[in-house]
Structures are given as structure tokens and as C-alpha cells.
Structure 1
Amino acid sequence: MSSLSVDQRRALSEAVLATPAIRRVGDAFAASGYDLHLVGGPVRDALMGRGVHDLDFTTDARPDAIEAILRTLTPATWDIGRAFGTIGAALRDGGREDIVEVTTYRADSYDPASRKPTVEFGDSLTDDLIRRDFTVNAMALSVVNGAFSDPHGGLGDLAAGVLRTPSPPEVSFGDDPLRMMRAARFTSQLGFTPAPEVVAAMESMAKRIDIISAERVRDELSRTLLSDAPRPGLDLLVRTGLADRVIPEVSALVREVDEHGRHKDIYEHTLTVLEQSIDLEKARGHAPDLVGRLAAIFHDVGKPRTKRFEGGGKVSFHHHDVVGAKMTRKRLAELRFSTDQIKAVAKLVELHLRFHGYADTDWTDSAVRRYVRDAGDQLERLHILTRADCTTRNQRKANRLRTAYEQLEWRIDELAAQEELDAIRPDLDGTQIMAILGIKPGPVVGRAYGFLMERRLEEGPLGEERATAELLAWWADQEH
């Protein structure tokens, strides 16, 4: 059992005192004769000076008793998973609202053939803590009497920045294989290093992740990507073989290392693009963006399938953008990402090479309009991805590409100020087209609209009078 230093005791005490909901819940459970412990992430984060956000508690009370006690504090309670022993509640204090989750001491494990855990309620904090995912999350603070529990050396591992499991990792990951994904997340999120035995267990048990629902895997992958430093976590997934089960298109890039140096290391390039995307997110004032980061790790997944050896020892990856977009859609659908997220990421993958024509030749205003039109509401993300995709060590080339893209963004802004590029549409709408041509709704209206859109892209705003004249000239050449 580890003991707290004076500073650590103060950090925990301040976390409790600064959060009214913790005191209120603790007093209510104590009054009913139950133990209640703040456990896991809140304790870890308080000791790390990260602040307390998610309030997770464990108790000897059973779910019905938990709900009854919480209802004395707030009508806003809900059943997160009664079968799993968890009841949630929202507690308001002045203008502050805290979400709390209270779970009965438990002992859960996975049936090897099932996606769902079998649950047994426990009778002691000791039994509960040994079944936690990692030692740094197996520390508890009683909010009834202030006792601190650390039976598995979490304090020492916290100081060392090491991820270990309270029970043997094979047992821990066997109970809940998702913990292997969580190891990657904590590697990125907290900057910890998994212990050698944890890595070895992840390697030998990677296939066990297949029993976990796609939604739960997706959520852990997303949390890893949204951390400040996702690279170490992603690299851990790849090294242990978990990525082969979860995002095999990304792990396949490792096998594209070219020992003859005819093209860059695609996997390392991908991780660098991800890091540069994050830097640009911050520099441009954006919050962590899951869609943009997914696009960064998937943007080159089409390269292995399109790799061709050309004359003179060169290697090409023609159409890897189109192929990669199709692969991306399939993988993200299997991971149960939303339709909007899938469409956005696939669009970015498909468009990530479009700029390179601009870097080589001067684009007409028409080409700039088409770039904006094709990017649609993903234009800002495309700016970030395209800029991040420059990882060349050739400083002259890097400067040329950077300058070219700055010029493109300047031209987009200039045209946008003149033409409202964010809402590019023909000068005449469908109703006007039908009135001018004297036709009824049908395919020909769509063709006429497409003609006017092409003229808009080529020439910019035409004005209603000129658009009408050009529409009538086009109509005269059509077969009626």
C-alpha cells in the first residue's frame, strides 16, 4: 500500500473541496451507512495536477440503493447500466453542473465467445480495484472518511510514468480486451510508457479485440486521435498488431518501407502529417478535430494497392487518392463512424492531391472556383491536410510548396470577397430556368442548371441578364 506525500494529500483534498458534488454525494452515502470512494481517473488526474472532471465513484451499495440515495440529491438520475451496477446523476450547485457515476463494487469478465461482460457484484474495495484496467487507475479516495487506497502501487507507476495492470495483463485483457486499446490511449493522452509485460500481452492477445463491439473500439481510437500527442498511441497499436485488427489499412503502410530509397517511408510520413495537422489546427485556432486527424492517417492508405515500378527505378502511386477514399469509406463504416464523418474524411482523402497541380502551374480563376466548389464545407480541413502533407526534407521544395499554397489561399480569399465563393451557384435557379425556357420540371432542367454552373465556374458571376442570354443560346443548340 503506497502512502501519500504531503503535497499529494493536499492535491486530493483540494480536488474534493473544490468540487461541491463530491462532498454532497459523500455525505449522502455516509448518512445511509455506505462506503463511497472516488476512484480511477479523478484520483489519478488530481494527483497529476490535471484537475478533476469526470466524477467516478465505487461503493458497496447495490444499484437500487445507489439510485435511491442520488434521488435525494437531484431528480436528474439515469440508468447507465443497472446490470453493470452503474447509476448516473447530474448535480447542480449554483451555476455549476457535475455529472457523477456511481458503480457497485464489481468483478466483471468477458466470456471468450461474447462481446458483453458477465458481471458479478463484489463486496470489497480490494476486490474492485484489482479488476481495474491499470494501476494508475486502481487508486481510490474515500469521500466518507478520507482514506486513500493504493494496493497495487499506482502512485509509484504514476511517478514513473508506467502503465501496468493490477492483475497479470493476460488476465486483465482477458477480462476486457478493450483495455488494450485503452493502453494506447493512455500512452498518448498521459504520456505513459506501457510496461514490457503489457506490450507482450497486447501482442499475444491482439485477436481478442475482435470480440469487442465496433462502437467501443471506435470510441477508444477516437480518444487516442484527439489527444495532444496521438503518435505514440497509434505506433503502439501498430507495433502490437492491434492496428491489423482495427485499422489494417494504416498498419499496412509499415510494410511499404522501400529499402532502395525510391520513395519515402509512407508510414512515418503519415505520422508526421498527423503531427503537422495538429500543429496547424492549433495555429489556426481550431479545437482538436477528429475528422481532420482521421483524414491525416488515412490520406495515403491507397498507396500500397496502387504502387507501380516505373522506368528509371521510379515508383508511382497513380490514383491512390481515389482508391484510398474508397478504402477509407469502407473502414470507417465498419468502425461505425457517422455518415457525415465518413463522407467528410473520404472527401478529404480524395482531394488531398488536388493542390499539387497548382504548385506546378498557375491556376485560372475557374480552377480556383472548382477547387472551392469540390471542397465544399471541408475547405478549411483541406487547407490543413494539404499543408500538413508537405514533409519533404528539401527546404527549397518545402518553401516553394508553402508559398504556392499561401498564394492559393490568398486567391480563394480574394475571389470569395468578390463572388461569395462559399455559396457558388448559377445566376438563375430552377424556377427561373423553367420560366425562361417555357419547360416543365424534368431532366432538361438539370442539364440547363449544369450548363449555367459551368459558366459560373468559368467566368464568375454573370448577372441575370447575361445568364439569360447564354441560357437561350444554349437552348437553341439543343434538340427539342
Structure 2
Amino acid sequence: MPDHPTSAPPAQVALLKGAVARLAPVLPMLTELGERFAAAGHELALVGGPVRDAFLGRTSPDLDFTTDALPDEILAAVTGWADAHWDIGREFGTIGLRKGPRMLEITTYRADTYDRTSRKPEVMFGHSIEGDLVRRDFTVNAMAIRLPSLEFVDVHDGLADLAARRLRTPAPPEESFADDPLRMMRAARFTAQLGFTVAPEVRRAMQERAATLEIISAERIRDEFSKLLLAPEPRAGLTLLVDTGLADIFIPELPALRLEVDEHHRHKDVYQHSLTVLEQAIALEGPAGGPPESVPGPDLVLRLAALLHDIGKPATRRFEPGGGVSFHHHEVVGAKLAAKRLKAMRYDKETVKQVARLVELHLRFHGYGGGQWTDSAVRRYVTDAGPLLQRLHRLTRSDSTTRNLRKAQRLSAAYDDLEARIDKLAAEEELSRVRPELDGNEIAEVLGIKPGPVLGEAYKYLLSVRLDEGPIGKDAARERLLAWWAQRSN
């Protein structure tokens, strides 16, 4: 690969030099593999994400290649060179292999045609790298490096787009998105991951073809949405989804947050507030690989909860006499809406459960005005949050977006006090493991009953005593249980 073409603008020259340096550790392997294919009479090129990432100064963990060799010919070329290989993608022309710590995929040139009602490709192998590149999603992913010559192939000006941080499609965007509507989701994801902006014609095509996203499976949409949400700056990608109408197709509750703000500004812009809460929650995540109590980022559950914490507001908004606006019980409504939407998007049960619970609990802190938390209230707060406590801390703190500095400082101080109270009681009472002072067997023995709903009722009563009063000892718990039983039996 030449250091730079003499006619390249300075920004592109810098990218080319950086790419050469970034690929240096794998150049011997790339050259060796390219020579094997050349010896067998085949073309081979590094392509797509690894090339783009090299120009961006990033290291790509996996390497993707394209070739004119058919799957059997690919296998013949790598047999004896690769440490392992697999052909699970043979139907689509892809052979996977491992060389040392590196994972590689080699795919025959493609010239897919699509059934545009189902997004199922009819696989047709192509004959040239130019034909292969034109079917890729964006120009920045349609650059290649021929091997072993290291010739840079950029027939769609992807390098110029990379330098401009711009997303364009190799083919007209209407055709590209018609072939695979999920590419519109990828445009939003790359906006969030790489800080790119979409070209005007790409944005127009996204708006015009948004409804075609309906033919894509919920699982594929979910995966792209999760990648976007886990990106360093998801706000730009989410904004693009909403502004182009794509969000209306798979998560309509998000654009629905754009409540009309009345002329007297009696309530804040819920949509913008939610995006700000998401950004603030991200800022409170711990470092990747940190201890669990730091909520190491990126954390999907926290980010989903931050984005969706107010989705119950549109359904609960009421204009009160005197000019006020209320959203009574929006956290309860929102928890149900969040669970319903995430289930529809095929998120796993645990993620759905955790996000819905955080949405339900996100106002709990504000139910104790003035920061006057009793020991009982602290115990209940911790018990209700359970393993989600650290995420709830971050969600609650993030939910303060007021511009009133005094109010913000007051809320922060109150939450500081709550966390201090939690730490103090946790040290004294092991709050994370609060249980009634009599277990199920002991309760059954005291009351002379068998396991069943009544035993569950008695257990809940003793748990409430434990939460309200703290440890009182087994004898006192036994007396309280008998008194409750006598009253219940009357």
C-alpha cells in the first residue's frame, strides 16, 4: 500500500499514513495469505470494517477478506496454513478460519439479488472486486486492499467520506435500502459509534423508505438498536432514528415523548430530557472491566432504563386547574409499556424484567421529600431495588436535569445522604440479605400450618416487620407472628 497518492488532500494523506502504521502488525500475515491465493491463481483483498478501522486508527479484532475463489477453492488455499477452519457460511460463500489469535472470514465476491418483500438474498457469486464493493452498505465500508500487492482500492471515494466523517452509499441509497432496509438502522448506529453524519440524500432515502423496516425481523432490529445504544455517543443515532421516522416502526414510544410544550412551558421537553438523562447515566457508568458495584460500562440495562424511564408520561399527562401539569403514576404505566415494547423487540426475559423494574422505581427517591429517610424507608428502598440498587442510584441521579443550580445541588445532597444511610445500615444489618427473622419452616411450626398461600402471607408480614423495625430477635418475632395470627383468625 503506497504511503499516499500524490494527488490526495492532506486529510486523506494523514489517514493513509495512519492506516499503514495500524496494519503493520498483521502485514506479514496478510502478505502470506495473499501470496497463497495468488499462487493458486486467485484474487484476494482485505475489505470492509478492518480497512475502515485502520484508517480511523482503530484495531479491528477480526479480519474480513473478499476473493474470486469459490468456497472449495478457498478451503484448498487455506488448508495447511490456518490453525482451524469452518464452513458454516459456505452457502453464502463464506469460510471462517483462525490463524493464531486472529479470526478471519473469506467470502467469495458477491452479487446478491434480494426478494424485496422478505429481505432474503438469492446468493449469486460475482466476478470482480468492483462488483462486490458496490453492494456494500456504505462507501466507508467499500474500501479494500488487494493482497499481496497492498494496492488500495477505493472506487466509491470512501476515503474522502471517511475524512469528511460522512455516510454515503456506493449505490443510490434508495436501491441500497431497498435491498436491505436494515442498512438504515446501521446508518444510525455508525452515527453513534463513529460520530459520522449521513449525507442529505441518505437522510431523504431513510425518511422515504422508513416503513420498509417492517419486513426486518425484530431480532435483527434489536441487535442493531443495542449496538447503537452501547455506542460512546448514542444521542446522535437516536435522534436520526426519530427524525427519519425509523423509530416509529419499532419503538414508537420514543418519538411519542415529543410532547407539545405549552406556551407557558409548564413542563419540560420529555424527549430531550430523556436523551439528556441517558447521557448523564452513561457518564456515571464505571470503567469497562470494573467491579460490578461500579456498573461497568457500557451497560445495556441502565441505558435502556434511562432512555425509557419517562415513556409513561404521554399516557398520564393531565393539565391541572391553575396551570399545572401532572403525570401521576407514570412510572407504573411506564414500567408496563417498557416491558411490552422490549418483549416485542425480543429482548431476553431478564433484561425486560430489570429495565421495567428500574422504570418503576425511578421516582421512589422523590417520594421522600426533604431527605427525611427513616431506617424503615431505607430498608424498603434497598430491598425493593435488590441487585439493581447500583443502577438505580445512577438512574435517579441522572434524572435531575434541572437548570436551577440550587435545586440540583439540593437533590444531589439529598441523594448523597441517602447513599450514606444505605451504607451505614448495610454495614449494621446486611441489607442486601434482609429476611424475616423466622424462616418458612419456623413459621409453619409456630402456626401449625402447611406450605401454601397462608404461609406466604405470614412470611410477608414478618418481612414487613423486619423492614419497618430492623432486627428484633426470634422471640419477639414469634410473639408478633402469633399476635398477627390471632388477629387474622378473628
TM-score range relative to shorter protein: over 0.9
1:414-460 alpha-carbon deviations (Å, 9 max, x no partner): 11111111122112211222233333222222122111111111111
SS across alignment from 1:355? helix
1:226–1:289 contact (8 Å) kept in structure 2? yes
Question: Within 5 Å, which residues of 2 pair with 1:66-85?
Answer: 66-74=74-82, 76-85=84-93
Question: Within 5 Å, which residues of 2 pair with 1:355-366?
Answer: 355-366=365-376
Counterpart residue number, 2:388: 378
What is the deviation of 1:155?
Answer: 0.9
1:471 and 1:397 mapped to 2: Cα distance? 44
1:87 corresponds to 2:95: yes
Question: Within 5 Å, which residues of 2 pair with 1:314-463?
Answer: 314-463=324-473
1:158 pairs, out of 158, 162, 170, with: 162
Counterpart residue number, 1:175: 179
SS across alignment from 1:107? coil
What is the deviation of 1:6?
Answer: 6.1
Partner amino acid, structure 1, of 2:458: A
1:55–1:101 contact (8 Å) kept in structure 2? yes
- Larger mean CA deviation between 64-73 and 217-226 belongs to 64-73
2:128 and 2:137 mapped to 1: Cα distance? 17
1:25 and 1:318 mapped to 2: Cα distance? 64
1:13 pairs, out of 11, 20, 24, with: 20
1:204 and 1:176 mapped to 2: Cα distance? 14
1:273–1:388 contact (8 Å) kept in structure 2? yes
1:156 and 1:74 mapped to 2: Cα distance? 35
SS across alignment from 2:112? strand
Partner amino acid, structure 2, of 1:161: R
- Larger mean CA deviation between 462-471 and 427-436 belongs to 462-471
Counterpart residue number, 1:35: 43
What is the deviation of 1:71?
Answer: 4.6
1:462 and 1:73 mapped to 2: Cα distance? 71
1:180–1:202 contact (8 Å) kept in structure 2? yes
Partner amino acid, structure 2, of 1:57: F
Question: Within 5 Å, which residues of 2 pair with 1:22-421?
Answer: 22=30, 25-74=33-82, 76-92=84-100, 97-282=101-286, 284=294, 286-421=296-431
Partner amino acid, structure 2, of 1:54: D
SS across alignment from 1:142? strand
SS across alignment from 1:392? coil
2:48–2:142 contact (8 Å) kept in structure 1? yes
What is the deviation of 1:68?
Answer: 4.4
1:359–1:404 contact (8 Å) kept in structure 2? no
2:112 and 2:280 mapped to 1: Cα distance? 41
Partner amino acid, structure 1, of 2:444: M
1:147 and 1:40 mapped to 2: Cα distance? 15
1:256–1:266 contact (8 Å) kept in structure 2? no
2:467 and 2:36 mapped to 1: Cα distance? 67
TM-score of the pair, normalised by structure 2: 0.92
SS across alignment from 2:124? strand
- Larger mean CA deviation between 357-366 and 45-54 belongs to 357-366
- Larger mean CA deviation between 389-398 and 424-433 belongs to 424-433
2:295 and 2:485 mapped to 1: Cα distance? 48
What is the deviation of 1:413?
Answer: 1.1
SS across alignment from 1:126? helix
What is the deviation of 1:9?
Answer: 4.5
SS across alignment from 1:256? coil
2:295–2:390 contact (8 Å) kept in structure 1? no
2:371–2:417 contact (8 Å) kept in structure 1? no
Task: Classify 1:69/1:479 alpha carbon distance in 2 versus 1 (closer, same or farther; 3 Å).
Answer: farther
1:71-90 alpha-carbon deviations (Å, 9 max, x no partner): 53446433453322222233
- Larger mean CA deviation between 265-274 and 425-434 belongs to 425-434
Task: Classify 1:27/1:404 alpha carbon distance in 2 versus 1 (closer, same or farther; 3 Å).
Answer: farther
1:460 and 1:24 mapped to 2: Cα distance? 70
1:114-165 alpha-carbon deviations (Å, 9 max, x no partner): 1322221111100011111111111001232211100010111111111111
Task: Classify 1:67/1:414 alpha carbon distance in 2 versus 1 (closer, same or farther; 3 Å).
Answer: farther
1:21 and 1:450 mapped to 2: Cα distance? 64
TM-score of the pair, normalised by structure 1: 0.94
Task: Classify 1:110/1:359 alpha carbon distance in 2 versus 1 (closer, same or farther; 3 Å).
Answer: farther
1:263-318 alpha-carbon deviations (Å, 9 max, x no partner): 10111111111111111114856221111111111111111111111011111111
Partner amino acid, structure 2, of 1:116: K
2:65–2:105 contact (8 Å) kept in structure 1? yes
2:478 and 2:113 mapped to 1: Cα distance? 71
What's the C-alpha RMSD, in Å, of the aligned pairs?
2.1
Partner amino acid, structure 2, of 1:72: G
1:472 and 1:150 mapped to 2: Cα distance? 82
SS across alignment from 1:422? helix
SS across alignment from 1:274? helix
> Where does the alignment leave 5 or more consecutive residues of structure 1 unmatched?
none
What is the deviation of 1:252?
Answer: 1.0
1:206-225 alpha-carbon deviations (Å, 9 max, x no partner): 01111111111111111111
Task: Classify 1:451/1:27 alpha carbon distance in 2 versus 1 (closer, same or farther; 3 Å).
Answer: farther
- Larger mean CA deviation between 212-221 and 80-89 belongs to 80-89
* Overall identity of the aligned pairs, in %: 60
> Where does the alignment leave 5 or more consecutive residues of structure 2 unmatched?
288-293
1:75 and 1:362 mapped to 2: Cα distance? 64
1:310 and 1:264 mapped to 2: Cα distance? 16
Give the number of equivalent residue pairs: 475
1:148-192 alpha-carbon deviations (Å, 9 max, x no partner): 100010111111111111111111111111111111111111111
2:213–2:246 contact (8 Å) kept in structure 1? yes
2:96–2:105 contact (8 Å) kept in structure 1? yes
- Larger mean CA deviation between 259-268 and 199-208 belongs to 259-268
